[in-house]
Amino acid sequence: MKIIRTAIQLLLVSATLPAFAQGLEAEIQALKTYCKPDIERLCPNVEPGGGRIKACLMAQKKELTVGCAEALQGLQKIKESR
């Protein structure tokens, strides 16, 4: 019985992963599209990787364009739903 329950749980999780990955990919694309000008303007010397660009943007969130702020919020919502 325990094995069947575990198998069902694994199937449910694996069925939701593609949708999660698609949502995450869409949000990353939105960040690339909407945040590029903000990154160039607000974080020009920040080296990509390790969350440095996101941290830079978040530190200056009052200066973000609406599109970039919404894209960051969308990414945050996806991460919270994990």
Q: What is the pLDDT of residues 17-59, one digit of tens each?
A: 455 456 678 778 888 899 999 999 999 999 988 888 889 999 9
Answer whether residue 64 is part of any domain: yes
CB 65 within 8 A of CB 37: yes
Please, what's the b/e burial string for 57-69 (b: 16 or more CB within 10 A of its CB; e: otherwise)? beeeeeebeeebb
Show the domain range for 74. Answer: 21-80
d(C-alpha 38, C-alpha 33), whole Å: 10
Q: How confident is the model at residue 80 (pLDDT cuts 50, 70, 90)?
A: confident
Answer whether residue 54 is part of any domain: yes
Answer whether residue 41 is part of any domain: yes
Answer whether residue 44 is part of any domain: yes
What pLDDT is attached to residue 14? 44
Largest CA distance in the chain: 58
* The total number of residues written for the chain in this structure: 82
Answer whether residue 75 is part of any domain: yes
Structure tokens at 71: 């894209």
Side chain identity, residue 69: A
Answer whether residue 50 is part of any domain: yes
Q: What is the pLDDT of residues 6-19, one digit of tens each?
A: 333 433 344 444 55
What pLDDT is attached to residue 36? 93
What pLDDT is attached to residue 78? 78
